[in-house]
Homo-oligomer: A and B are copies of this chain.
Amino acid sequence: MPKYPPVSALFTDFYELTMAAGYFANDLTGAATFSVSVRPSDRKRGYYVAAGLEDVLDILANFAFTPADLEFLRSTGSFSPAFLSFLADLRFTGDVVAMPEGTLFFPGEPFLEITAPIIEAQLLETVVLNTVGFQTMIATKAARCVHAAQGHPLVDFSLRRTQARDAGMKAARSTWLAGFMGTSNVLAGKTLGIPITGTMAHSFVTAFDSEREAFMAYARLFPDATVLLIDTYDLIRGAENAVQVARYLQENGHRLIGVRLDSGDMITGSHQVREVLDRAGFAEVKIYASSGFDEYKIAELLRAGALIDAFGVGTKVGVSADAPFLDIVYKLARYGDRDVKKFSPGKISLAGRKQVFRNLNAAGRPVADIIGTRREAFADAVALLEPVMRAGHVLGPSPTLADIRIRCGQNIAELDVEFKSLQHPADFPIRISDRLSTLQRDQSSSNPE
């Protein structure tokens, strides 16, 4: 399985194709710039973590219609032979600027801009949004969990309940780059090199005649990698059975890694289990927990003094349950030599090719962002959008996932805590540069007549 499975050029909304046919028939062949951003009205998150760029670049670099694709389009009766011939030769020839994966950004800021002949850029809208939207959403959710966990390791357990398979693969990647310690997803281990982890489910315990027998069978087979699931029947008796396994392993020169709680009151339960383990001399055996965790529940349990060493984080993070879609848009900002925007109520977009500048203080911490035009420069500010593709060619290798993970960790560490609050993050200061503001007024000539 390749790192990124091939994506059909037909993975798009039909209107992208009918619009493309409209541009083609009317000789609209100029360059268009589309800006990708999260709408400012999306107030569920204080910050976002850019993710999915490597995947997008792979899609753009391999964009092409196959003969079977063209035959299907012909069969719809909607397209002229001339347009279908044009599609047969179409490749992506544009330029892309983007924030590197792992960069923190804020609502309203473009984190990706594509400039290409309008037909190419239009046809790719759907797949670009689909690709960066989900990964950015999950990396953001995962970064919030990492923040809430205050150094306790987190592992991605979401695979069984992600929204289908591609999401399961991308959830493993996105949670890892945001700072998780591993995933249960074996295929993500193989294709992406993410550490894989996991021990047993309730079915394993119930398949044996007794819990103790199941525990011993597992420990004999994996004497250096056993975490026992102790809540199938009764938590305290499960912990007592775990102590017996810990003794057995100790006598044979190994040690029990941990026990896992997957139900019930985690505060009381973790204290009770800790006591059983400690009393038996197994203070080093870790307590793992899993059960509908997300950043809110992790924060709450740690605040309440739950004795949990590491968290298995599943469904609620893998689908970003409290905010399961990103209000992400792909807006035409410039066509030919004209900057454009739309005026629909609540959906106004910023015209023009843009750059995002991050002001850093003396300590290197971000204090404000400026959304400006592409060619401005500001003292003490770094430009976040970097060229990543030119004339359809990817510029240099993508950073490794490990490097992306480091960038994300640094970005989060540098952000002041007030902006990282889970419930009520402060608004990060963002201003529009004078030059970009002027440009918004100047392009009001676009009109319905």
Q: Which residues of A contact B (CB under 8 A)?
A: 1, 5, 7-8, 10-19, 21-23, 25-26, 28, 32, 34, 68-69, 72-73, 76, 78, 118, 122, 125-127, 129-131, 133-135, 157, 159-170, 184-187, 189-190, 196-212, 214, 217-218, 220-222, 225, 231-234, 237-238, 241, 262-264, 315-316, 318-321, 324-326, 328, 330-332, 335, 340-347, 446-449
A133-B161, A160-B133, A346-B263 known; A206-B341 Cβ under 8 A:
yes
User: Which chain B residues lie closer than 8 Å to A225 at the CB level?
Assistant: 18, 78
* Least distance between A159 CB and chain B CB atoms (Å): 5
Given A18-B199, A72-B186, A126-B159, output 16 extra A-B contacts at Cβ < 8 Å.
A5-B5, A10-B187, A10-B190, A12-B187, A16-B201, A18-B198, A22-B221, A23-B207, A26-B208, A72-B189, A130-B162, A161-B326, A202-B344, A206-B332, A237-B448, A319-B325
Q: Are A168 and B263 in contact (CB under 8 A)?
A: no
Q: Copies of this chain, how many?
A: 2
Closest B residue to A1 using CB positions: B8
Closest B residue to A322 using CB positions: B324
* Least distance between A336 CB and chain B CB atoms (Å): 9
Q: Are A199 and B448 in contact (CB under 8 A)?
A: no
* Least distance between A32 CB and chain B CB atoms (Å): 7
Most B C-beta atoms less than 10 A away, residue of A130, A159, A207, A220: A207
Name the 7 nearest CB pairs between A and B, nearest first: A15-B198, A163-B163, A14-B198, A324-B324, A166-B166, A164-B166, A203-B332
User: Which chain B residues lie closer than 8 Å to A5 at the CB level?
Assistant: 5
Most B C-beta atoms less than 10 A away, residue of A12, A32, A131, A318: A12
Q: Are B189 and A157 in contact (CB under 8 A)?
A: no
A163-B134, A203-B332, A324-B319 known; A185-B13 Cβ under 8 A:
yes
Chosen A-B contacts, 19 in total, with CB atoms closer than 8 Å, are A10-B186, A13-B159, A14-B198, A15-B199, A15-B200, A15-B201, A17-B186, A22-B217, A32-B203, A73-B186, A130-B161, A130-B168, A131-B164, A134-B163, A206-B332, A231-B345, A233-B446, A238-B448, A264-B344
* Least distance between A244 CB and chain B CB atoms (Å): 11
Q: Are A328 and B161 in contact (CB under 8 A)?
A: yes
The CA-CA distance from A234 to B344 in the complex, in Å, is: 7
User: Which chain B residues lie closer than 8 Å to A344 at the CB level?
Assistant: 202, 231-232, 262-264
User: Which chain B residues lie closer than 8 Å to A125 at the CB level?
Assistant: 160, 201, 203
Q: Which among B129, B197, B217, B342 is the interface contact of A202 at CB below 8 angstroms?
A: B342
Q: Are B126 and A14 in contact (CB under 8 A)?
A: no
User: Which chain B residues lie closer than 8 Å to A209 at the CB level?
Assistant: 446
User: Which chain B residues lie closer than 8 Å to A264 at the CB level?
Assistant: 344-346
User: Which chain B residues lie closer than 8 Å to A134 at the CB level?
Assistant: 162-164
* Least distance between A12 CB and chain B CB atoms (Å): 6
* Least distance between A307 CB and chain B CB atoms (Å): 18
The CA-CA distance from A69 to B190 in the complex, in Å, is: 8
Most B C-beta atoms less than 10 A away, residue of A15, A264, A447: A15
Q: Are A447 and B233 in contact (CB under 8 A)?
A: yes
Q: Which among B76, B198, B205, B211 is the interface contact of A13 at CB below 8 angstroms?
A: B198
User: Which chain B residues lie closer than 8 Å to A448 at the CB level?
Assistant: 210-212, 232-234, 237-238, 241
* Least distance between A131 CB and chain B CB atoms (Å): 8
User: Which chain B residues lie closer than 8 Å to A328 at the CB level?
Assistant: 161
Q: Are B160 and A130 in contact (CB under 8 A)?
A: yes
User: Which chain B residues lie closer than 8 Å to A331 at the CB level?
Assistant: 202-203
Q: Are A7 and B165 in contact (CB under 8 A)?
A: yes
Q: Are B163 and A203 in contact (CB under 8 A)?
A: no
Most B C-beta atoms less than 10 A away, residue of A34, A184, A237, A330: A184
Q: Are A340 and B207 in contact (CB under 8 A)?
A: yes
Closest B residue to A326 using CB positions: B161
User: Which chain B residues lie closer than 8 Å to A135 at the CB level?
Assistant: 164
User: Which chain B residues lie closer than 8 Å to A169 at the CB level?
Assistant: 164
Q: Which among B78, B190, B198 is the interface contact of A72 at CB below 8 angstroms?
A: B190
